[in-house]
Chains A and B, each alone.
Chain A
Amino acid sequence: MSVAIEAQNLRKPFNLENTMSIAIEAQNLCKSFNLGNNVVEVLKDIDLQINKGEFVSIMGPSGSGKSTLLYLIGGLDKPTSGNVMINGKELSAMKDKEQSILRRRDIGFVFQFYNLVPNLNVEENVMLPILLDGKKVKGHKERLDEILELVGLADRRKHTPRELSGGQQQRVAIARALVNEPEILLADEPIGNLDSKTGMEVMALLQDINKKKAKTIVQVTHSKEAAEYGNRTINVRDGRLW
């Protein structure tokens, strides 16, 4: 396991040695929104490094900017200033297509409300990133079986989301996030919509994936219990890391 580096102490230039083991790196990251005539600074000058294979939990009160940070890391949003590097590649320098490819191959997303496509069944939902990557579904049948086995949904593969429980839907979302073997898994309140028992099951699954598959996992959570499944916690308050 790499040594966790205190985020606020990372005000030094990128170097090759660092980037070799760093999965995610943010430098001077700022994000502000216009709310009427007011400018609201959501993230203020964030510096952050997350090493490969880490399971990091970002915690903080509502409106602290933790989800915004996650979305900036995932390339779903653009920073007002600053940079984000994923596996050594700078996100802001990428065009939409390159960013999309990155999201397809290098990053997997898990959301609080599962966000499955309602008219597609489990298999089809899981295979979405494969399809979007222009690959043939037929050539990935084994991978699909493996991933469904991992999330415990092998017997639910033909079901549509509305035929599944919340926990099962979140497992489908995790399977979808993992199908393309990305190195990074970003989860926004992955158990925020689940009861505590199911939530802990999902967390155990994420922990398992982190340990067995050596995936870098970053989760945003309100739950201390959920954060304990990770090996490092970052606190965000008023747009800064603490």
Chain B
Amino acid sequence: MAIIFKFALKSIREKKFRTFLIIFSIMMSSALFFASFSMSGTVEQMVIDRIKKSTGSAEIMIYPGPKSPSPYVNDRAAMKIKDQADYIIEMIQGSALYKISETEDLNVNLNGYEYDELQLMNPITFKEESNVESFSGRRIIISSNMAEKYKLELNSTLELKIAGLKQRFTIVGIANPTGLFTEDGRTTTAVIPKETLENLYNMKGQATTVYIKPKDISQKQPLMEQLEQLYKRDKTAEVIPMEDIRRQSSTFTIPFMMMVVLVMSISIFIIYTSFKVITTEMLPVIGTFRSIGATRKMTDFVLITQSVVYGIIGGALGCALGVGVLYVMARTLLGPEGIASGFEVKMNISAFNFILSFGVALILAIFSSWVPIVKVSKIPVKEIVLNQIEKTHKKKHWKPIVGLIMAVSVLIIPRFIPRDMAMMVNVLCMILSGVAVSFLTPELTKGFARFFEKAYLYIFGNEGVLAAQNLRENKNMLNNISLLAMGISAILMINTISYSVFKEVANAYKDMNYDIEVNIGGADRQVLSTIGRIEGVQDVYGGYSTYNIELGNGKDRIMMLAGVDSAKFNSYNDIGILGNPQQEIEELDGGRNIIITTALKYKLGLDIGDYITFNMKTGKRDYKITGLCETINYNGQAAFISDKYFKKDMEARYYTDVLVKSEGNIDQTVDHIKERFRDRGIRLITVAEMEKSNNDSNAALFSIFKGFSIMTMVIGIFGILNNFAISFMERKRVLAVLRSVGMSKGQSIKMIMIEALTGGFIGGAVGIIMGVMMISIIPYLLKTIDLPIDMTYDPVLLINGLLGGIIVSLIASISPALKSSKLNIIEAIKYE
């Protein structure tokens, strides 16, 4: 027993490349699983950190809601639960402008806090301070970044424009860029005494938010319920909306997990094929030991131990690598701006994640090696000892038929699945599409080989014909084709999704027939007409919108509801209205009518003629669906009503969407508008800037996915290298036979290279078929996470898939081709 065990461990040590390959694939699978599994927790942690930077230890917040009688709240009602709270703190959120130069202003988030209260809730650490404890009157705390950037010193005077008026403050504290003073690269934060800000905004005894920290955190929910009763018309909410964060982060994890499934499929394939070789190699030793009394269990145990050893090493390395992968993923998501703004990558890793990933590695190793081990175990000792093992090659005629049925099913089923089952069924369809293609691969290869046999006669001569003939029923080549197909389909899928998203985003911005979006408080007709008269402005549009509006059922929300001006809307936006766009838009003015996106139609299960109810400022309002559109703006979670009814139902006084068409140079027009509204804290963004920012944030996410898909391919490439090496060993005899009947070294190299070229081509082609099948399911899958994106195929990607397959295959065949020319013919032929 110990000897067989020793033999198993020796074979792990001796077969270095195979050991590396198995451990590498287990390690990558477990690392990517670890990273993907921990990603949601890490994203949650990062979101929580972001929120906590401004809210510190507060747990509950109260702020004015749509039904609030005023835009302010105060802590008077909350004082009734004072004994249950560690603190109840009022704050005022304001804004100010700091004049950097004659042409440029800096937006400052101005927070009004009582100093002691702020230190209790979200303590500030100071780089420099001067008697900051007596924080009252015209005193201000600024960030060290602001101080350094604009050369502001302690005890110097800072002039800010607040509500249009210049105000002077004395800098009494320069805070470290942490917590409240963490910057996002665009704005900076300053704190002044709450009372001072109350006076400046003329809101004596009021606040914009009340923060509460319960004494007993387990009593948060009952406390919130009490507060909801006390602040019936205002909003009581958790500072950290864990449920929302969890929902969003889990949506985020799904695509990563799908990539992990793909990586694991390749790993299973590699471990399975490697163990087939391992068991074949160990067969004589197993036979010998079985013949002298070792039981079947004993020999099985040795083989299983070998797979467990691989699992343990791969799992341990995978967990360590997983931490690194997770860090890179989190850092990529945070982006350079986030890092520069002082946000840290905080990984949320629990011991459970490590144990689970390690367990996944072990299961992967044991599960993948199980079938070859059991097969060897079933061979009678006599057959092993006498080397009489029957190599049965039963043709499994059912496989291509089942494969074809599966392939057709996965193309049809996603179209008819109801939303509540869609996610699960679509993921299953994606896995099945891989299984279907692998079932069809032998037949597809046979078909391709038959075609190439004829074509190669004219291209490569008889060596080409031989190479094509060798592809038939060549198990190693079929393995290579499957590995290539999996790798290429993964890369193709990710790149196609990425390409489609960027294309859709580009199209969405193309549909915006204006140049600049203006964000200005109190935008009324007067403001609109002023903008219209500014030099460079061709036309201006005013519309209304509200975000994350609640539906009547109190559960669902939609991302954006717009109140549109039917006369101008279509000339500013092409939202892909089905039917006659102008007629549909004008119909909105005829009553409480609404146009929704087809994505919303699918999500809410509604159609034209149905009613949709919103919780609006004036109460529940029913809107009749009169039209559909196909915009992907706001991820397709958008709806459009007439501005007339928006103003009425949402009690909107000012335009929220001020859109400008520029006559000439857009940047100059931006400067002119900025100049005209300097005093009003105006913010402008051009459509080009919006597109760039959108693409940048998508690019971060896709760079991670691409990393995953490349890893999938890398594992696949190693698998292919191994297969070529195994294939050469197994084919030594056949190659020697060919040499004995007159094949020259040159012909041998030529034949192997043509085989590789053809195998690569078929692998690429099967990969494209597999990729296209999976990609066809993606839009349905994305719909379930409210992303209505159609897939656009890039022919360049498809060609690259084919070329990639050929190149990988050719490179992997160089070594076997050269070895074949140095083959010892007699040795290879003589010994069975």
Q: Which residues of A contact B (CB under 8 A)?
A: 67, 71, 74, 76-77, 96-97, 100-105, 108-109, 111, 113, 115-120, 124, 128-129, 131-135, 137, 162, 176-177, 180
| Interface secondary structure of A, over-half rule | helix
- Which residue on B lies nearest to A176, using beta carbons? B741
Taken together as a complex, chains A and B put the C-alpha atoms of A235 and B576 apart, in Å, by 93
22 A-B residue contacts at CB 8 Å? A71-B825, A76-B739, A76-B826, A77-B825, A77-B826, A100-B744, A100-B747, A102-B742, A105-B742, A108-B741, A113-B832, A116-B737, A117-B470, A117-B737, A117-B738, A119-B469, A129-B741, A129-B742, A132-B743, A133-B462, A162-B391, A176-B741
Taken together as a complex, chains A and B put the C-alpha atoms of A79 and B495 apart, in Å, by 58
- Which residue on B lies nearest to A163, using beta carbons? B393
Contact present for B740 and A131 (CB under 8 Å): no
Is B492 interfacial (CB-CB < 8 Å)?
no
Contact present for B742 and A124 (CB under 8 Å): no
Given contacts A131-B462, A134-B462, contact A115 B737 (CB under 8 A): yes
Find chain A residues with CB under 8 A from B745 CB.
96-97, 100
The 8 closest A-B CB pairs, nearest first, are A104-B742, A100-B744, A131-B462, A103-B742, A115-B737, A119-B473, A97-B744, A132-B742
Residues of B793-825 whose CB lies within 8 A of A: 825
How far in angstroms is the closest Cβ of chain B from A70? 10
- Which residue on A lies nearest to B734, using beta carbons? A117
Contact present for B462 and A124 (CB under 8 Å): no
Q: Which residues of B contact A (CB under 8 A)?
A: 391, 393, 461-462, 465-466, 469-470, 472-474, 733-734, 736-747, 825-826, 829-830, 832
Taken together as a complex, chains A and B put the C-alpha atoms of A102 and B744 apart, in Å, by 10
Q: Could you say which of A76, A116, A132 contacts B825, with CB atoms under 8 Å apart?
A: A76
Find chain B residues with CB under 8 A from A101 CB.
742, 744
Contact present for B742 and A133 (CB under 8 Å): yes
Contact present for A115 and B829 (CB under 8 Å): yes
How far in angstroms is the closest Cβ of chain B from A181? 13
Q: Could you say which of B393, B469, B825, B826 contacts A120, with CB atoms under 8 Å apart?
A: B469
Find chain A residues with CB under 8 A from B740 CB.
74, 76, 103, 109, 111, 115
Which of A117, A118, A177 has the most C-beta atoms of chain B within 10 angstroms of its own C-beta?
A117
Contact present for B741 and A109 (CB under 8 Å): yes
Contact present for A132 and B462 (CB under 8 Å): yes
Find chain A residues with CB under 8 A from B733 CB.
115
Contact present for B470 and A67 (CB under 8 Å): no
Contact present for B738 and A162 (CB under 8 Å): no
Taken together as a complex, chains A and B put the C-alpha atoms of A177 and B747 apart, in Å, by 19
Contact present for A162 and B473 (CB under 8 Å): no
Contact present for B742 and A97 (CB under 8 Å): no
Taken together as a complex, chains A and B put the C-alpha atoms of A67 and B469 apart, in Å, by 31
Taken together as a complex, chains A and B put the C-alpha atoms of A124 and B466 apart, in Å, by 9
Find chain A residues with CB under 8 A from B743 CB.
100, 132
Q: Could you say which of B391, B470, B746, B825 contacts A97, with CB atoms under 8 Å apart?
A: B746
Find chain B residues with CB under 8 A from A162 CB.
391, 393
Contact present for A118 and B734 (CB under 8 Å): yes
Taken together as a complex, chains A and B put the C-alpha atoms of A166 and B510 apart, in Å, by 73
- Which residue on B lies nearest to A182, using beta carbons? B742
Which of A74, A118, A135, A137 has the most C-beta atoms of chain B within 10 angstroms of its own C-beta?
A118
Taken together as a complex, chains A and B put the C-alpha atoms of A180 and B742 apart, in Å, by 11
Which of B393, B466, B737, B745 has the most C-beta atoms of chain A within 10 angstroms of its own C-beta?
B737
Which of A77, A100, A113, A120 has the most C-beta atoms of chain B within 10 angstroms of its own C-beta?
A100
- Which residue on A lies nearest to B746, using beta carbons? A97
Taken together as a complex, chains A and B put the C-alpha atoms of A104 and B744 apart, in Å, by 10
Given contacts A103-B742, A115-B737, A118-B734, contact A131 B465 (CB under 8 A): yes
- Which residue on A lies nearest to B735, using beta carbons? A117
How far in angstroms is the closest Cβ of chain B from A127? 9
Q: Told that A115-B736, A116-B737, A119-B469 touch, could you supply 4 new A-B pairs with CB distance under 8 A? A: A77-B826, A105-B742, A129-B742, A132-B742
Contact present for B826 and A132 (CB under 8 Å): no
How far in angstroms is the closest Cβ of chain B from A174? 12
Taken together as a complex, chains A and B put the C-alpha atoms of A121 and B737 apart, in Å, by 15
- Which residue on B lies nearest to A107, using beta carbons? B742
Find chain B residues with CB under 8 A from A134 CB.
461-462
Q: Could you say which of A100, A108, A137 contacts B739, with CB atoms under 8 Å apart?
A: A100
Find chain A residues with CB under 8 A from B747 CB.
100, 132
Find chain A residues with CB under 8 A from B826 CB.
71, 76-77
How far in angstroms is the closest Cβ of chain A from B192? 84
Find chain B residues with CB under 8 A from A132 CB.
462, 466, 738, 741-743, 747
Find chain A residues with CB under 8 A from B746 CB.
96-97
Which of A96, A97, A116, A177 has the most C-beta atoms of chain B within 10 angstroms of its own C-beta?
A96
Taken together as a complex, chains A and B put the C-alpha atoms of A126 and B733 apart, in Å, by 17
Contact present for B737 and A96 (CB under 8 Å): no
Taken together as a complex, chains A and B put the C-alpha atoms of A177 and B737 apart, in Å, by 11
- Which residue on A lies nearest to B821, using beta carbons? A96
Given contacts A131-B462, A134-B461, contact A103 B741 (CB under 8 A): yes
Contact present for B466 and A96 (CB under 8 Å): no
Find chain B residues with CB under 8 A from A129 CB.
741-742
Find chain B residues with CB under 8 A from A97 CB.
744-746
- Which residue on A lies nearest to B472, using beta carbons? A119
- Which residue on A lies nearest to B744, using beta carbons? A100
Given contacts A67-B830, A76-B826, A132-B738, contact A119 B474 (CB under 8 A): yes
Find chain B residues with CB under 8 A from A77 CB.
825-826
Given contacts A100-B744, A134-B462, A162-B393, contact A128 B738 (CB under 8 A): yes
Taken together as a complex, chains A and B put the C-alpha atoms of A104 and B830 apart, in Å, by 19
Find chain A residues with CB under 8 A from B744 CB.
96-97, 100-101
Taken together as a complex, chains A and B put the C-alpha atoms of A119 and B737 apart, in Å, by 13
- Which residue on B lies nearest to A114, using beta carbons? B737
Find chain A residues with CB under 8 A from B825 CB.
71, 76-77
Taken together as a complex, chains A and B put the C-alpha atoms of A103 and B743 apart, in Å, by 8
Taken together as a complex, chains A and B put the C-alpha atoms of A128 and B742 apart, in Å, by 9
How far in angstroms is the closest Cβ of chain A from B294? 30
Taken together as a complex, chains A and B put the C-alpha atoms of A102 and B462 apart, in Å, by 18
How far in angstroms is the closest Cβ of chain A from B254? 43
Taken together as a complex, chains A and B put the C-alpha atoms of A162 and B739 apart, in Å, by 22
Find chain B residues with CB under 8 A from A137 CB.
465
Taken together as a complex, chains A and B put the C-alpha atoms of A144 and B198 apart, in Å, by 105
How far in angstroms is the closest Cβ of chain B from A200? 23
Find chain B residues with CB under 8 A from A108 CB.
741
Contact present for B830 and A100 (CB under 8 Å): no
Find chain A residues with CB under 8 A from B832 CB.
113
Taken together as a complex, chains A and B put the C-alpha atoms of A135 and B462 apart, in Å, by 8
- Which residue on B lies nearest to A102, using beta carbons? B742
How far in angstroms is the closest Cβ of chain A from B397? 16
Find chain B residues with CB under 8 A from A124 CB.
469
Find chain B residues with CB under 8 A from A177 CB.
741
How far in angstroms is the closest Cβ of chain B from A71? 5
Q: Could you say which of B391, B393, B473, B742 contacts A100, with CB atoms under 8 Å apart?
A: B742
Taken together as a complex, chains A and B put the C-alpha atoms of A128 and B462 apart, in Å, by 9
Taken together as a complex, chains A and B put the C-alpha atoms of A76 and B743 apart, in Å, by 11
- Which residue on B lies nearest to A108, using beta carbons? B741
Taken together as a complex, chains A and B put the C-alpha atoms of A143 and B711 apart, in Å, by 53
Taken together as a complex, chains A and B put the C-alpha atoms of A77 and B740 apart, in Å, by 10
Find chain A residues with CB under 8 A from B461 CB.
134
How far in angstroms is the closest Cβ of chain A from B828? 10
Taken together as a complex, chains A and B put the C-alpha atoms of A108 and B740 apart, in Å, by 9
Find chain B residues with CB under 8 A from A115 CB.
733, 736-737, 740, 829
How far in angstroms is the closest Cβ of chain A from B817? 15
Find chain A residues with CB under 8 A from B472 CB.
119
- Which residue on B lies nearest to A96, using beta carbons? B745
- Which residue on B lies nearest to A186, using beta carbons? B740
Find chain B residues with CB under 8 A from A71 CB.
825-826
